[in-house]
Amino acid sequence: MSATAAADIQLDASGRLRHFLTVEGLSRELLVRIMDTAESFAGVTAQNVKKVPLLRGKTVVNLFFENSTRTRTTFELAAKRLSADVLNINIATSATSKGESLLDTVRNLEAMHVDMFVVRHAQSGAAHFIARHVAPHISVLNAGDGRHAHPTQAMLDVFTIRRCKGEFAGLKVAIVGDILHSRVARSEIWALNTLGVDEVRVVAPKTLLPAHVEALGVVPYHDLSEGLRDVDVVIMLRLQLERMGSAFIPSEHEYFQRFGLTERRLEKARPDAIVMHPGPINRGIEIDSAIADGPRSVILPQVTNGIAVRMAVMSMAMHAGPDREVAA
Amino acid sequence: MSQADLDVETLLARLEASLREELVRRRVDDPAMIGVHTGGAWIAEILHRRLGFSEPLGYLDISFYRDDYPQSGMNPDVRASKLPFRVDGRNIVLIDDVLYTGRTVRAALNEIFDYGRPAEIVLGVLIDRNGRQIPIQADCIGGRVELEPGQRIKLVGPEPLQLTIRAGGR
């Protein structure tokens, strides 16, 4: 799907967010607005009552065709902190496993008067497909589709970078690992380039880089120490063992020897560089435990920030449709 | 009311005097003050300084608590609320610029109670205007103004602070 087509379906006639399917095609201004709104939501955790009434009476459906405890939990918590009711549909035991089509499942949930679908699916484009077919009052958020996009993960990552570094201009960011299978990397590259970082590097063996990766606006490296030189942010990706056969890397041990993040290799980065990881971590395969648990790691703040970012996207998307705009 | 009656410094002085009197009457010393973004925060910053409160000033953005959110959507300029003190059992002075329908104050009260249960809240506003839609009234005011339906009064600032009356719009 082209950037223009993706933006067309995501934005309403006034250019405001209606669905959140991909970072691709969205403006810098909108990405900044998502982060600014998330910053406000981050303060909600300071309250005794860790909820705001924005989505009271709304029903959010977590439609997960692929397992992900962490992402589903943070979407659920985000919706609940906005006072929405949440349905978690376990697809493994749902009617789709009895032969019902995806659209029939969506139609039945629509008939139950739900207001938002949070969709995770192993097929690229699944969230777009649902967004094109839902009723006008329903918003669709992509919680990860195939190898295509994971936009809220990208937004929580750039939000975390902004909280640690302030500005994006002047930053060098290295994304290390399985770029080929990573929807997170794809979304992060779009977000970082839109926000104007100096340089996005991708560091991986050739077998884990897409062909013509430079076209995404990144500089490829095949040597970790070189790729980390003078960077401000290191984003380690999970080696998606379930998505690859044995052909991509010789062994996990050898992968760690060449591309695992260790204290020694991290010395190449700037002294104040931060280390990120979308989780779950394969300790000792892509990152040394000493780094993952060390002072430069912001892996747990990423999880916390994920709730605020998802609250921001949910609240912005839920009320942006032109059919819902009424003069105050 | 003429433009001369909308002199912010005069209204501020009256509100300050009224607050001093009210706090003495209630035997409240060293309360916690909260300003409602944006105009209320400007007013609160000045009053907080003049009244010499020791507790740092708190700020509320009631965007997440507005009862017209389903109609008007997300305020693009939402700021984080910051209450740098415990609310439980505190005497609180809540400051806003204009008291009109009462819905902003209602939202502010709802938000404050999500931080804790205050002992009491004194509401001070720079301008009290007609057009109340819910039963809320200020304890201390700088001045009153009667406006025609559709007219709006707005505090612009922060430097200088100025009250303007406009026809229609938000």
Q: What is the DSSP string of A20-65?
A: B--STT--HHHHHHHHHHHHHHHGGGGSSS---STTTT-EEEEEES
Using one digit for the tens of pLDDT, what is the confidence trace for A216-242?
999 999 999 999 999 999 999 988 766
Beta bridge partners of B14: none
Instruction: Indicate the SS3 state at residue A301.
Output: helix
Q: What is the pLDDT of residue B27?
A: 94
- Smallest Cβ–Cβ distance between A54 and the set B64, B116, B170 belongs to B64
Q: What predicted TM-score, i.e. pTM, was given to this entire model? A: 0.86
CB contact under 8 A, A52 and B114: yes
- Read off the tokens for B96: 């806003």
Gap from B164 CA to chain A (nearest CA, Å): 20
Gap from B104 CA to chain A (nearest CA, Å): 13
> With pLDDT > 90 as the criterion, what percentage of chain A qualifies?
67
Q: How many CB pairs under 8 A join A and B?
A: 62
Task: Say how far apart CA A271 and CA B37 lie, in whole Å.
Answer: 39
Contacts of A312 (CB under 8 A, 6+ apart): A34, A35, A37, A38, A40, A41
pLDDT band at B150 (very low <50, low <70, confident <90, very high): confident
Task: Say how far apart CA A252 and CA A241 lie, in whole Å.
Answer: 9
Residue of A nearest to B62 (CA): A52
Interface list for A 25-44 with B (CB within 8 A): 33, 36-37, 39-44
Residue of A nearest to B111 (CA): A52
Under 8 Å between Cβ of A86 and A62 = yes
Q: What is the pLDDT of residue A7?
A: 57
Nearest to A279 by CA among A300, A295, A254, A263: A300
Instruction: Indicate the SS3 state at residue A274.
Output: strand
pLDDT band at A15 (very low <50, low <70, confident <90, very high): confident
Sign of CA dihedral B102, B141, B110, B60: positive
Under 8 Å between Cβ of A68 and A120 = yes
Rounded to a whole number, what is the distance in angstroms from the first to the last CA of chain A?
A: 36
**Residue A47 near chain B (CB below 8 Å):** yes
Maximum C-alpha span of chain A: 62
- Read off the tokens for A101: 């089509």
Residue of B nearest to A52 (CA): B64
Contacts of A197 (CB under 8 A, 6+ apart): A168, A169, A170, A171, A172, A173
Residue of B nearest to A325 (CA): B71
Maximum C-alpha span of chain B: 42
Q: Tell me: pLDDT of A98 over 90.
A: no
Task: Say how far apart CA A116 and CA A95 lie, in whole Å.
Answer: 19
CB contact under 8 A, A43 and B81: yes
**Residue A54 near chain B (CB below 8 Å):** yes
Residues in chain B: 170
Task: Say how far apart CA A152 and CA A23 lie, in whole Å.
Answer: 9
ipTM: 0.74
Q: Considering only CB atoms, which chain B residues are within 8 Å of A47?
A: 114-115
Using one digit for the tens of pLDDT, what is the confidence trace for B103-135?
999 999 999 999 999 999 999 999 999 999 999
pLDDT band at A93 (very low <50, low <70, confident <90, very high): low
Gap from A234 CA to chain B (nearest CA, Å): 29
Task: Say how far apart CA B61 and CA A211 lie, in whole Å.
Answer: 48
Gap from A280 CA to chain B (nearest CA, Å): 30
Q: What is the pLDDT of residue A1?
A: 52
Q: Considering only CB atoms, which chain B residues are within 8 Å of A327?
A: 71
Exposed, middle or buried: residue A22 (CB in 10 Å: 0-12, 13-18, 19+)? buried
CB-CB neighbours of B92 under 10 Å: 22
Q: Considering only CB atoms, which chain A residues are within 8 Å of B110?
A: 53
CB contact under 8 A, A46 and B114: no
Residue of B nearest to A32 (CA): B76
> With pLDDT > 70 as the criterion, what percentage of chain B qualifies?
91
Gap from B87 CA to chain A (nearest CA, Å): 10
Mutation target to probe the A interface, by most A beta carbons within 10 A, among B66, B67, B74 is: B74
Task: Say how far apart CA B126 and CA B99 lie, in whole Å.
Answer: 8
Q: Considering only CB atoms, which chain A residues are within 8 Å of B116?
A: 48
Which element (helix H / strand E) includes B142? strand B140-145
Q: Report the range of poorest mean pLDDT among A228-232, A288-292, B63-67, B85-89.
A: B63-67
Which element (helix H / strand E) includes B107? helix B103-115
Backbone angles phi, psi at A151, to 5 degrees: -65, -35
CB contact under 8 A, B74 and A319: yes
Three-point CA angle A140, A53, B66, nearest 5° = 105
CB contact under 8 A, A40 and B79: yes
**Residue A189 near chain B (CB below 8 Å):** no
**A151 cis-preceded (ω within 30 degrees of 0):** no
